[in-house]
Amino acid sequence: MKWVSLILVVIGVGVLAFPFVENQYMEKKQTELVDQYEQHLSPDSQVAAQSLEDVTDVFESEAQAATTAAPLPDEMMGTLEIPSIELKLPILEGATEESLASAVGHLTGTPFIGQEGNAALAAHRGYSFGRLFNRLDELEKGDTILATTNEGPLQYEVTNAFLVKPEDVSVLEPFSDGSTITLITCHPIRNPTHRIIVQAELVEHTPSEP
């Protein structure tokens, strides 16, 4: 009976530890992607139409993403950093199951980061994908968002944060002249019914040397 009890204890500890171990693995994977990108900048020219409804489908289906292999550095278009919530993540083209498993996804069909118009970026907010956008609801007006692409570093300032219904595609429309970004994630973390929207305007851009 003693060995049966021991096995049950080991199984119990494993079940309790699994979420922590999985979270640590995802954070390590995200850090590796950022490090790889910073050593290997490469442009991505594919642009295709994508609606907010596609992102909703991804947010509501998490099973595949947690086991998806990490993308290669040349699939990346940049990095996103938000100092106030201690966040630094790679940015991939397309908000798909694969890209959102370990990164921020750029909604194809919206302008690229740094270009004139509203670039939309989405990420998961849950317990199976590392931290990602878990703390996006903490951002306030005036907070700094940093992005780095092959065009150089860009600094954005948060101008607005609010909730919308998943079907509200108006958040993809330009909300200011010049270059802006819109960050999108689900809310609440469990059984989401809305989307957190954080919008920011470009305040500084240092172009890369040719």
Tokens of 79: 């990095």
pLDDT of the residue at 44: 32
Tell me the three state secondary structure of residue 164: strand
69 CB contacts (<8 Å, ≥6 apart)? none
Average pLDDT, the chain: 76
pLDDT digits (tens, 9 = 90+) for 158-168: 999 999 998 88
Distances (CA, A) of 142 to 88, 145, 155, 163: 18, 9, 12, 18
pLDDT of the residue at 176: 83
Cβ density class 63-80: b for 16+ within 10 Å, e for less: eebbeeebbebebbbbbb
Q: Residues 79-93: what's their mean pLDDT?
A: 94
- 150 is a domain residue: yes
Highest mean pLDDT among 7-16, 97-106, 122-131, 195-204: 195-204
Query: Would you say how long the chain is, in residues?
Result: 210
pLDDT of the residue at 84: 95
Domain count, the chain: 1
Range with the poorest average pLDDT among 6-20, 79-93, 103-117, 132-146:
6-20
Shortest CA distance to 182 belongs to which of 151, 147, 131, 149? Answer: 147
Task: Count other C-beta atoms under 10 Å from residue 32's C-beta.
Answer: 14
- 78 is a domain residue: yes
Q: Residues 50-73: what's their mean pLDDT?
A: 50
- 177 is a domain residue: yes
CA contacts within 13 A on the Cβ side of 46: 13
Q: How confident is the model at residue 129 (pLDDT cuts 50, 70, 90)?
A: low
- Tell whether the model's pLDDT for residue 46 goes beyond 50: no
Catalytic residues, which ones?
A: 124, 186
| Residue with the larger pLDDT of the pair 177 and 35 | 177
Phi, psi of 85 (to 5 degrees): -120, 20
pLDDT digits (tens, 9 = 90+) for 64-73: 333 344 444 5
Q: β-strand 179-187 against 152-164: which pairing, if any?
A: unpaired
| Residue with the larger pLDDT of the pair 48 and 114 | 114
Q: How confident is the model at residue 169 (pLDDT cuts 50, 70, 90)?
A: confident
- 45 is a domain residue: yes
- 169 is a domain residue: yes
- 210 is a domain residue: no
Q: Could you tell me the pTM of the whole model?
A: 0.71
Q: How far apart are CA 182 and CA 173, in angstroms?
A: 10
- Tell whether the model's pLDDT for residue 14 goes beyond 60: no
- Tell whether the model's pLDDT for residue 157 goes beyond 90: yes
pLDDT of the residue at 156: 98
- Tell whether the model's pLDDT for residue 186 goes beyond 70: yes
- 102 is a domain residue: yes
Residue whose token pair is 């921020």: 104
- Residue 43: give its domain's CATH number: 2.40.260.10
Tokens of 150: 């092959």
Look up the domain containing 115 and give its range: 2-205
- 101 is a domain residue: yes
Task: Count other C-beta atoms under 10 Å from residue 116's C-beta.
Answer: 12
Q: How far apart are CA 133 and CA 181, in angstroms?
A: 15
pLDDT of the residue at 118: 93
Shortest CA distance to 28 belongs to which of 146, 129, 149, 148? Answer: 129
| Residue with the larger pLDDT of the pair 155 and 72 | 155
